[in-house]
Structure 1
Amino acid sequence: MKYFACFLSMKDEEKSQKYRPQHLDFLETMRQEKKVLMNGRFTDGAGGLVIYRAKSLDEAKELVEQDPYIKLGAREYDIHEWELVTDYNFD
C-alpha cells in the first residue's frame, strides 16, 4: 500500500462551514476502512491535510473526489505520493 498526502486548500469558507459535518463523517468512514491514515485542519484556516492509503495515485484521487468538500466546491486539492518513514506501527 502507498501513502498520499492530500492538501485541501480553502476555496469557499462558507461552504466549508456548511459541509464540515459531511466531510468529517466521510473521513471517519475512510479511517475505519483504513483508507485514511490521519487527517487534520491547519490552525491558520488555510485548509487541511489528509493522508490516504491506496494502491495508486489514481485510486487515491478517486477517494479524494468522494469527499463532500471536493464534490460540493468547498475545497481544492493537491495530492502527492508520500514516503512514510516512522517507527510507529499503524496496522
Structure 2
Amino acid sequence: MRYYIVFLQTIDAAGASQYQQAHFEYQSSLRLQGVIFAHGRLTDGWGGVAVYRAGSEADVRLYVEEDPFVRNGIRSYEIHEWDMKLAPDVSVGAREEGTK
C-alpha cells in the first residue's frame, strides 16, 4: 500500500454548506473502511487535507472525484504520493482519542 496526500482547496466557500454533511459522511466512511488514513480541515480556511492508502494514484483519483465537494465544484484537489516516515514513538495502527 502507498500513501497519498490530497490537498482539497476551497474554491466556492458560499456553496460549501449545501454539501458539508455529504462531504463529511463520505470522507468518514472512507476512513472507517481504512481507505483514508487521516483527514481534516485546515484551520486557516484554505480547505482540507486527506491522506489515502491505495495501490495507485489512479485509485485515489477515483475516490477523490466522488467526494461531494469535488463533484460539485466546491473544492479542487491535488494528489501527491507521500513517502511517509514516522517518529519512533508513532505506530500507524495506533488510534488517537476522538478519531472514531
| Same fold? TM cut 0.5 | yes
Structure 1 unaligned segments of length 5 or more: list them: none
Tell me the SS of whatever aligns to 1:16: helix
Identical aligned pairs, as a percentage?
A: 33
Aligned length: 91
Displacement after TM superposition at 1:89 (Å):
2.7
Displacement after TM superposition at 1:34 (Å):
0.4
Once residues 28 and 58 of structure 1 are traced to their aligned partners in structure 2, the CA distance between those partners, rounded to angstroms, is 20
User: Cα deviation per residue 1:29-62 (whole Å; 9 max; x = unaligned)?
Assistant: 1011100000011111000100011100100111
Residue 79 of structure 2: aligned partner: 79
After superposition, the CA RMSD in angstroms is 1.1
Larger gyration radius, structure 1 or structure 2: 2
Displacement after TM superposition at 1:26 (Å):
0.2
Residue 53 of structure 1: aligned partner: 53
Query: Mapping of 1:24-63 within 5 angstroms?
Result: 24-63=24-63
Structure 2 unaligned segments of length 5 or more: list them: 95-100
Tell me the SS of whatever aligns to 2:93: coil
Letter paired with 1:15: G
Once residues 34 and 66 of structure 1 are traced to their aligned partners in structure 2, the CA distance between those partners, rounded to angstroms, is 17
